Amino acid sequence: MALLEEMKGLARIPRSSFPFLTLYLNTRWDSEKQRERVRIFVKTKLKEFLASHESTNGAVRQSLEEDVEKLDNYVQGLVNREWDESSNGVAAFACAGQGVFTLVRSRVAFEEGFHCLDRPVLRPALRQARVGEPAVLCLVAGDSGRLLEFELGGVRREFSFRDEEFPGRHEQGGWSQARYQRHVEEHLSRNLKRLAEHLVKWVDERAIRRVLLSGPESDLSLFEPQLPKRVRQVVVGRLRIDPAAAPPAVEAEVQRALERARAQEDGQAVDEVLERAPGGGRGLTGAEAVAGAVGLGKVHVLYLDQGFREVGWACSGCGRLGVKMPLGCPACSAPVATVELGEEFVRGALAADGSVVVVEDHSGLRAEGGVAALLRYS
């Protein structure tokens, strides 16, 4: 299951009286010292957590002790190479009282952290989910073609071919210039068509939203017109990648290009929402307005400044959210609790099958309080 779908499932877990533990780890091991550092980090956090809940007893105590044991055992196995090590990041979500123990692995490293709330903490995984969205690099050449699909920071699948009969690979003695040129054009046309068909298949199969092209300008100028409009519209850049470059260098170049494309997309999307907001349509800005929309499940896309932190309230009954703390929920009169609105916005948007975009640097968004939303309906 994709990371974003995992997060949406976790976002729908209801509040509970049982503690819900969330652990994020960077498992990009550089050395044995890194492994030991992770082991000590987890051991220390779990020890501190148990000490802070020393007076807890009954079913709640049993739940948290089971969770601590499971997390400790898993991390020990990870450090000791007993489990799969192909991931650079691991997030663990545990609440024995609700029967939940979920591991989410990512090729993109997580920033380490340990949290205990009444539900899973999801905001730290947002950047990874965004960075990890599938994308395709298409390497175009007259005598060959190659596709690389990237997901969660690594290569998910690959397709390649090489035309061993391409003119010039072998002696073409006795051919007239015109006949030889037609022969070259036939091979070139066939190869570009084959690559285009495979690219279209991949884009359609997984609804790929970003494609990067690389190759000689002369080949690309012939290749792109063979793509249908829906595929040309998701081409977000052209690169100059050496076909002989090592995989890490190729991956790094692709990730830089995708980061630029995402930043441009996000900036344009936020601009559009800010333009819509004053008219009272599908765009909203500001914590109070967005809180109301999230509480009603109306948010289609949430745009959140990476530094957004604001205290607000959440209703224990109907789930409404707000900024200024009332005596009771204005909608159902149930008790309200103090919450960090950024995490609540993320959880609420995902639970309603919306999406979340963390924006790194947009002055317009910050001027509106660091949060905006595109609604499903006005």
In this prediction, residues 335-348 reach a mean pLDDT of 94
- With b for 16 or more beta-carbon neighbours within 10 A and e for fewer, the 98-131 pattern comes to eebbebbbbbbbbebbbbbebbbbbbbbbebbbb
Is the model's pLDDT at 1 over the cut of 50?
A: no
DSSP string over 57-106: -HHHHHHHHHHHHHHHHHHHHHHTT-S----SEEEEEEEGGGTEEEEEEE
The mean predicted confidence, pLDDT, of the chain is: 89
In this prediction, residues 11-38 reach a mean pLDDT of 90
Is the model's pLDDT at 356 over the cut of 50?
A: yes
Amino acid (one-letter) located at 304? L
Amino acid (one-letter) located at 126? L
Percentage of the residues of the chain whose pLDDT score is greater than 90:
63
Query: Which residue has tokens 């990476």?
Result: 306
Q: Which of 62-76, 181-195, 220-234 has the lowest mean pLDDT?
A: 181-195
Tally: H helices and E strands in the chain? 11, 16
DSSP string over 194-212: HHHHHHHHHHHHHT---EE
Task: Please state, in angstroms and rounded to a whole number, the distance separating the CA atoms of residues 348 and 209.
Answer: 24
Task: Please state, in angstroms and rounded to a whole number, the distance separating the CA atoms of residues 207 and 215.
Answer: 24
CA-based nearest residue to 89, from 154, 149, 45? 154
Is the model's pLDDT at 378 over the cut of 70?
A: no
The pLDDT tens digits for 69-84 are 999 999 999 988 888 7
Sequence-distant (6+) residues with CB within 8 A of 80 are none
Task: Please state, in angstroms and rounded to a whole number, the distance separating the CA atoms of residues 238 and 145.
Answer: 15
Query: Which residue has tokens 């190729």?
Result: 250
Task: Please state, in angstroms and rounded to a whole number, the distance separating the CA atoms of residues 165 and 243.
Answer: 20
The pLDDT assigned to 334 comes to: 93
Sequence-distant (6+) residues with CB within 8 A of 168 are 143, 184
Answer whether 0.85 is exceeded by the pTM.
Answer: no
Q: How many CA atoms lie within 13 A of 149 on its CB side?
A: 19
- With b for 16 or more beta-carbon neighbours within 10 A and e for fewer, the 65-85 pattern comes to eebbeebeebbeebbeeebee
The pLDDT tens digits for 60-117 are 999 999 999 999 999 999 988 888 777 888 999 999 999 999 998 887 788 899 999 9
Is the model's pLDDT at 42 over the cut of 60?
A: yes
Query: Which residue has tokens 């792109």?
Result: 224
- Domains plus CATH for the chain? 3-130 (3.30.960.10), 132-244 (3.30.420.60), 268-375 (3.30.1330.30)
